[in-house]
Structure 1
């Protein structure tokens, strides 16, 4: 497998404990995608019967489609880290701040 190395913000905390990528309140996907221009939801969230085995990996934010967030530059998140948590029936980027 080929690998690339890029700088991206990390998912410092994820409170969506029903997500298959969540182990011990941390996200272990390789990278997540955040929402769209109207909603800063975690597009990578999905519930599953088991959780990832890659608990040594820390997720980054690979893309951000929330163009009205002040941290969004050219569809990428430019803050150091984000928090993800359930909000009602959805799972959102809690670091989102409108421009």
Structure 2
């Protein structure tokens, strides 16, 4: 299944190919990804330190793109050693689902 991914602050649109079982649940998976991404207990490379307050408190945010979502699908959510999602450049068919970050 082809899934279209758009980003609020980026005009580019990307497409991923995934099994139908994954594609049918893509919005729920997106919510699960968001929970994982913003959980400070998860050590992933998408954290960015954007400020340190006067008392030394660090303020963190995330910076990510479609590669982070694909990484999460393949290595965190479905970690059976088999790639379930990958980026495609020029889909030959229309996407069945669309998500936006």
Q: TM-score, normalised by structure 1?
A: 0.30
The structure with higher relative contact order (CA 8 Å, sep 6+) is 2
Bigger radius of gyration among the two? 2
Q: Which has the higher helix share?
A: 2
Q: TM-score, normalised by structure 2?
A: 0.30
